[in-house]
Amino acid sequence: MRHRRRRTLAASLGLAALLAAAVPATASSAPLEPADSGQSAADPSLAAVTPLTASNFRYTLSRTSSGLLSALDAALPNVTLGAVADDANRTPSCPDAPSVTHRTAYYCWNEGDRTTSAWYPQGITTSSDALGAGTWDGKRLNLVSWYDHADDGIDKGVRLSVSNLSASASAPPYRHLLLVEPSGTTSAPSYKPVDIHAGGIMWYGNLLYVADTTGGFRVFDLDRLWRVSTGDASRIGRQADGSYHAFDYKYVLPQTAKFTDSTVGEYAQLQHSSVSLDRTSTPDSVVVSEYRSKDDLAEGAQVRTIRVPIDYTDRLLEPASDGVVKATEAYRTDLESVQGSTAIDGEFFFSQSDGSNHSDPSSDGDLHTFVAPSGSLVRHGDALTVGAEDLSYDPTRDYLWSLGEYPGYRWVYAADASSF
């Protein structure tokens, strides 16, 4: 791993001093517009980022019934994520390469997944998030979330793509599985779809965190992957004959916990639009940002990003000394259309969608950066693809991963993070 050439957040700044300058989240300011220039430079229309009182953003943990999980464990065969990767049933192909600044890697989906309007890809995380070594079950894996966009009267919720980059870096074989929420009773255990947008995902140890826009995080345990019956795309959960189905998906991943967010100090509730892991912080931490449109900002909405510590021993968000899970950093950016965010050595990165006109290069996604806590936003215009979504950083290779959501423009790609 090469050394990063990056500005860092000096410890001498002190979080207390940072929070002393905090501005309440109810304050108003003019919306920020992206610059027209594609140059990587400080943009005078992007004001300095404003620190907020981080501890005003909080989470409460609740767990899925252990009895219900045990009943499903007994009813269904357990499999490993490595086994799911080995059971890949789709082969990607790329008709062309994405235009991405400092691009280092890319791959696609198969033709059906590249063009379908029934599912839209959103979040991305990698086995370098899961473990510092960068692999899981001996494989380098990428996970991508998709939300059901079909208008067929059946809400299938969220599916997860497991891509095996160890098998092929440029055309990794993959398989979809379904996220489910346990339901029913211990005597008749079942599960149902997870009806959320899944705008961001983060993998840490055996746990997968999925952003729930208005609810915080749904948490799924990768040590509890189950194989279910296939052959019927219309059925979900336990059936009258005792079989279990999942809309013809062969594997399901159950929700085992939830972190419900809240705020104090008259702060508006945070919209959980994206999530990523920062392994360059001490301790490891989770970065969350919210999406707001230009119209939302014009109506007085704010755009904020927060950092929350996470415990490497149990893989759960780490409480403060009083037992309450609280953010340790928070900023107001008022940057419109943020789809993904992460942080590397004290520098924050934001992906920004910039229209859906695929034939217009100015619709390509932008990347914005700022060095905490007092830097100004810097725009790297058209650095990403059209419909740019979530961000995930792989420190083992200095890869900044993202992906496109629009049918026909669905590359998964990485850029050299140190070059920004």
The rounded distance, in Å, linking the Cα atoms of 119 and 100 is 24
Q: What is the pLDDT of residue 358?
A: 63
pLDDT band at residue 362, thresholds of 50, 70 and 90? low
What ranges in 66-222 are assigned the alpha helix state H?
66-75, 81-86, 111-115, 127-130
Q: What is the pLDDT of residue 30?
A: 31
Q: How much of the chain exceeds pLDDT 70, in percent?
A: 87
- Among 71-85, 253-267, 351-365, 367-381, the minimum mean pLDDT is found in 351-365
Q: What are phi and psi of 244, to 5 degrees?
A: -125, 135
Region 234-245: mean pLDDT is: 97
Region 152-170: mean pLDDT is: 96
pLDDT band at residue 356, thresholds of 50, 70 and 90? low
The rounded distance, in Å, linking the Cα atoms of 380 and 149 is 31
Fold of 46-419: Neuraminidase (2.120.10)
Q: What is the pLDDT of residue 48?
A: 74
Q: What residue ranges do the domains of the chain occupy?
A: 46-419
Residue 402 CB neighbour total at 10 angstroms:
27
- The strand ranges marked E within 9-102 are 40-42, 50-51, 57-63, 78-79
Q: Is the pLDDT of residue 41 over 90?
A: no
Q: Is the pLDDT of residue 158 over 60?
A: yes
pTM score, whole prediction: 0.90
The rounded distance, in Å, linking the Cα atoms of 257 and 135 is 24
Q: What is the pLDDT of residue 25?
A: 37
pLDDT band at residue 4, thresholds of 50, 70 and 90? very low
Give the tens place of pLDDT for each residue, 65-86. 999 999 999 999 999 999 999 9
Q: How much of the chain exceeds pLDDT 90, in percent?
A: 84
Task: Answer for the pair 325, 319: CB distance below 8 angstroms, yes or no.
Answer: yes
Biggest CA–CA distance in the chain, Å, is: 65
Region 146-174: mean pLDDT is: 96
Q: What is the pLDDT of residue 153?
A: 86
* Mean pLDDT score across all residues of the chain: 90
Bigger pLDDT: 21 vs 150:
150
Region 298-326: mean pLDDT is: 97
